[in-house]
Amino acid sequence: MTIHKEGYGLILGTAIGVLASNLLLRQFAGDITWLTTLWLVASLIFFFIILQFFRKPTRKTVVNPNHIIAPCDGKVVVIEEVIETEYFNGPRRQISIFMSPVNVHINWNPIAGVVQYFKYHKGKYLVAWHPKSSTENERTTTVLRSPSGVEVLFRQVAGALAKRIVWYVQEGQQVAQGSEMGFIKFGSRVDVYVPLDAIINVNLEEKTTGGETILAILK
């Protein structure tokens, strides 16, 4: 396991802040041992929380053109038929995965194919499990078209803590299944819209492993 590139700047800044704050506290309140010790422990815990958030685990995607894999770690919070209005303008099955602050926040491409559509939307920062977060929060929409012509849409959705969504794709780009698509900083969710005839392979409350868990199987 390594550290993701998106965390380099924040981790360095946090480390400098932790070091500087502890040195200053020792200089001005060094005789108050309980205070300096408490702050040292608290600041180190905070640093390691930031560090673990940007961890980058090794994932092994079993490539299969009939599988739609989970684009992120988290917990399945929605499985329902909806009308998708941004791109398809028709019914699709929505699978939503909530990513808590302790989850890995890398996003992976759920299928192989060409980026048929991409758009970034500015928006609000409602809690990620709010029903309107998919349409009102800061988000991106990506549609991948497989070699067989099947299209899968997925959205990176910012949560109440997430203030920045990062993506590495653009329209016309060819992507591999399980390759990195982007990163969402802190709490968030990802919505995946699959064809109605796809066989759903997960259940509500089930935990997913990004790049590995099979969300649905295409017919």
184 strand-pairing partners: 165
- The b-or-e profile of 37-75 (16+ CB within 10 A means b, else e) is eebeeebeeebeeeeebbebeebebeeeeebbbbbbbbb
Instruction: Catalytic residue, from 96, 133, 134, 188: name it.
Output: 188
Q: Rounded to whole angstroms, how far apart are CA atoms 146 and 168?
A: 18
* Active site annotation includes 188: yes
Q: Rounded to whole angstroms, how far apart are CA atoms 120 and 166?
A: 10
By the 8 A CB rule, do 50 and 193 touch?
no
Q: How many CB atoms lie within 10 A of CB 147?
A: 11
By the 8 A CB rule, do 104 and 71 touch?
no
CA distance between the termini of the chain = 35
The angle that helices 8-29 and 33-53 make with each other, rounded to 10 degrees, is 180
Residues known to be catalytic:
188
